[in-house]
Chains A and B, each alone.
Chain A
C-alpha cells in the first residue's frame, strides 16, 4: 500500500515522524480520513484522538487541538500536546476531570473561566477515553 509522511510536532518534542498508510483525525468539522494524494487542505483539529495506520495496524494517540496541514506526499500536525496511551497519567486525568466538573458547577464564574474549564474537561475525558480503548 502506498504511504505518505506524517509528522506530528508539539512544543516540547517531535512526537511522530514516519511513513504511514492512513490517518484518521478529528477536525473541528468532524472526522477526516487521509490517504496518500489527498488534496492540499488545512484545518483546525478538535481535542480528540488520532488513528494512525501503519503496516495494516492502527495505533491511537490523544491530541489536544492544533491544526493539520495536508499535502499530497506529507501531512503535518502541529498540536499543543500529544500522548500515546501508555504515557497518559490516568490519575492526573481523573483529577483534572473532577476539578473541571466542579468548576463548571459554580456558574457564577465569568465566561472565560467556563470555557477554560470546559476545555480542561474535554482534554481529561479524551485522555481517559484513549486509555480505555487501548486497554480493551
Chain B
C-alpha cells in the first residue's frame, strides 16, 4: 500500500505543476486577448468604412475596365492562410488549415499558399505545397505595414497572371468564446460590387481618371481586408488559447480531486490494514 500511495502522490504533484503552467498561460492569454480586442474595436470602423465606400464606388463603375476587376478563367488560386506561430490554442490552427484543405479539394498543383504564421508555413511546406510567401512572427500583434506587404505581394501575383484568384482564410472573432474560420475572396474584385444591394444611379466623377483611382482603391481594399483579417485572427487566437488553457486547468483540477480521493482511500486502507495486523499480532500473543 505505501507503494501505491507514493505513486498517487507523485501523480498529484505532476498534475498540479501542469495545472500551474496552464493557469499561467490562461492568465497571459486573457491579458493579450484584452489588448487584441481593444485593437479590434479600434480597427473595425476603418475596415467597415473602407469596405462600404469601395463597394459604393465599385457599384457605379459600369463600363469601367480595370485588370484587377476582370474575371478570368481560374487556373491557379492563391490562399492567404492566417494562423498563429504557436500551438496550444485548441483547434484554432487546425480549423483554419482544415478549411484550406476543403477549399483546395486535392487540387494541390494549382494552389499557392501565402502563409501567415509558423503553423501554416510548417503544415503546407511539409506537405509539398507551393509557398508563395511567408510572414512569420506577426500574428500576435499585426501592423498595417504587414498587411500592406502581403497585399502588394498578392496584387503583384495577380497582375503578373501567376494566379487567377486570391482568397483570404482567417478566423473571424465573434465573441470571446466563439470564432469561425472564414473565407473571403479578395481578387478579382468583381465580387465586391456584386455584394452591394444598394445600387446607385448617380454618376461619380473620378480624378484624375477612373482607371487611376481604381488602381489605387483596389489594392487599398485588398490591404485593408487583409489587415482586418489579421486583427480578427490575432484576437481569435488569444481567445482560443485562453479557452483551451481554461479547460486544461479545469481538467487538471478535476484530476487532482480524483487523485486526492484515491490517495486518502489508500491511506485509510493502509492504516486499517496496519491496525488489523497489530490486533492480529496481539491476539496471537495471548
Contacts and interface: CB of A to CB of B under 8 A. Distances in A.
B148 to A, nearest CB: 9
6 contacts: A11-B144, A11-B224, A40-B202, A41-B207, A78-B46, A78-B53
A67 B144 contact: no
B216 A44 contact: yes
Contacts of B45: 9, 14
Interface string A7-30: 101111110000000000001110
Contact of A41 (B43, B204, B217): B204
A39 B208 contact: no
B217 A67 contact: yes
B227 A11 contact: yes
A110 to B, nearest CB: 16
A67 B213 contact: yes
A40 B203 contact: yes
A129 interface: no
Interface of A is mostly: strand
Interface in B3-59: 39, 42-43, 45-46, 49-50, 53, 56-57
Interface of B: 39, 42-43, 45-46, 49-50, 53, 56-57, 144, 202-208, 212-213, 216-217, 220, 224, 227
Interface of A: 7, 9-14, 27-29, 39-44, 67, 69, 76, 78, 80
Nearest to A74: B53
B47 to A, nearest CB: 9
Given A42-B205, A80-B144, 14 more contacts: A9-B46, A11-B43, A11-B224, A12-B39, A13-B46, A28-B207, A28-B208, A40-B202, A41-B206, A43-B213, A67-B213, A67-B220, A69-B57, A78-B49
A75 B205 CA distance: 14
Contacts of B144: 11-12, 80
Contacts, number: 65
A40 B224 CA distance: 23
B42 A42 contact: no
Given A40-B202, A67-B217, A69-B56, A9 B207 contact: no
- Chain A CB within 10 A, most for which of B49, B144, B220, B224: B49
Interface of B is mostly: helix
Contacts of A27: 207
A76 B45 CA distance: 12
A45 to B, nearest CB: 10
Contacts of B217: 42, 67
B53 A40 contact: no
Contacts of B50: 9, 78
- Chain A CB within 10 A, most for which of B45, B53, B212: B53
Nearest to A43: B207
Contacts of A44: 207, 212-213, 216
A40 B227 contact: no
A-B pairs, 6 with minimum CB distance: A43-B207, A11-B144, A40-B204, A9-B46, A41-B205, A14-B45
Nearest to A66: B220
Given A11-B144, A39-B205, A43-B207, A67 B46 contact: no
Contacts of B204: 40-42
Given A10-B46, A67-B213, A67-B217, A29 B207 contact: yes
A44 B220 CA distance: 11
Nearest to B221: A78
